């Protein structure tokens, strides 16, 4: 099957590409700068935000992965860029006769207002599901993987802060998921018969943890003792740029990410493993695997 993979230079795209090749698919990638992509398939030049190159990339494609996000660079208006990219992609896929697009977004809170980050993810999902007859939208919370920016951010904070300052959002709960399980879900979504008429599924790990517990468990698995300073208020506007500086991250990425911690991010139901045939890794095993892969390329100072 001929498959187009966008977001091929990101952490999920990089994990997914070899798996699709092993499945025997005819894979092609799409990137704004193909020369910067190290991937096991040809990569075409294109930009979904502006629409350039989409018609060529989608020619003959049966399934496309839409793994495009626009929070990088700290620029304002990422919501408009993500919306434009989704609309351009749907239009080009329609012209090419592509029925199935697979999208990875974020789990949404069920009892409080959406952050900018999660609201944009849901808007992209809405556009894809409305525009394509067999679109599949998967929603994940924190992805545990060596190249996952959210996981790397947490590890860097644990590594570099002798005392962990945990704002009020530390009490909120979520279900982190192993990148290996995300990859399995994405591979299965390309061929699942359940997607006629479109499908939206929450994909979540088997462990439900507070954000405070996530930080503490990461520290423990890194063999570190990090006393916690538990703050009474949510200080994201102040904390985000400080945390970004400590972790060496882009504040324009970290601020919207931290805004999403203001409530529980829990799966709507537990249908996904049975529907897509995925067995899940526990949180501790996911972290250990991610840390081992990270250290194969770069030594962590705290280990």
Whether the CB-CB separation of 3 and 65 falls below 8 Å is answered with yes
Is residue 68 in some structural domain? yes
Is the pLDDT at 115 greater than 80? The verdict is yes
Rounded CA-CA distance 113/25 in Å is: 40
Which range is least confidently modeled, 73-82, 187-196, 212-221, 231-240?
A: 73-82
The three-class DSSP label of residue 44 is strand
Give the mean pLDDT of 133-160: 95
Rounded CA-CA distance 120/176 in Å is: 20
Q: What is the pLDDT of residues 245-288, one digit of tens each?
A: 999 998 888 888 888 888 899 999 999 999 999 999 999 999 99
User: What is the CATH classification number for the domain harbouring 58?
Assistant: 3.40.50.720
Is residue 219 in some structural domain? no
Is residue 214 in some structural domain? no
Q: What is the pLDDT of residues 209-224, one digit of tens each?
A: 999 999 999 999 999 9
> Rounded to whole angstroms, what are the CA distances from 103 to 123, 125, 173, 245?
12, 7, 24, 31
Is residue 58 in some structural domain? yes
Is residue 298 in some structural domain? no
Is residue 195 in some structural domain? yes
Is residue 82 in some structural domain? yes
The three-class DSSP label of residue 38 is coil
- Residue 136: phi and psi, rounded to 5, are -120, 125
* Number of H-type helices and E-type strands within the chain: 11, 13
pLDDT band at 70 (very low <50, low <70, confident <90, very high): low
Domain, as residue range, for 193: 2-141+177-203+268-273
- Could you tell me the pTM of the whole model? 0.93
What total of structural domains would you count in the chain?
Answer: 1
Is residue 152 in some structural domain? no
């Amino acid at each position: 099957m001929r498959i187009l993979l966008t977001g091929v230079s990101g952490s999920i795209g990089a994990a997914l590409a070899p798996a699709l090749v092993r499945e025997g698919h005819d894979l092609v990638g799409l990137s704004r700068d193909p020369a910067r992509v190290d991937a096991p398939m040809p990569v075409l030049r294109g930009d979904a935000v502006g629409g350039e190159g989409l018609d060529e990339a989608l020619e003959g494609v049966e399934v496309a992965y839409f793994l495009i996000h626009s929070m990088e660079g700290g620029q304002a208006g990422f919501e408009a860029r993500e919306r434009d990219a989704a609309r351009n992609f749907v239009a080009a896929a329609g012209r090419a006769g592509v029925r199935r697009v697979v999208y990875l977004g974020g789990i949404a809170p069920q009892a409080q207002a959406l952050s900018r980050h999660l609201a944009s993810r849901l808007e992209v999902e809405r556009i894809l599901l409305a525009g394509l007859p067999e679109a599949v939208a998967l929603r994940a919370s924190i992805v545990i993987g060596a190249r996952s920016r959210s996981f790397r951010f947490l590890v860097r904070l644990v590594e570099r802060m002798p005392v962990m300052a945990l704002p009020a959002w530390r009490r909120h709960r979520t279900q982190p998921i192993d990148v290996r399980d995300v990859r399995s879900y994405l591979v299965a979504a390309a061929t699942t018969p359940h997607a006629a008429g479109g499908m939206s599924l929450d994909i979540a790990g088997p462990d439900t943890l507070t954000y405070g517990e996530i930080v503490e468990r990461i520290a423990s698995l890194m063999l570190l003792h990090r006393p916690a300073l538990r703050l009474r208020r949510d200080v994201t506007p102040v904390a985000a740029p400080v945390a970004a500086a400590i972790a060496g991250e882009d504040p324009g990425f970290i601020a919207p990410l931290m805004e999403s911690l203001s409530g529980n991010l829990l799966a709507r139901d537990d249908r996904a493993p049975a529907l897509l045939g995925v067995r899940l890794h526990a949180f501790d095993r996911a972290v250990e695997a991610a840390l081992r892969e990270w250290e194969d390329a770069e030594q962590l100072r705290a280990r």
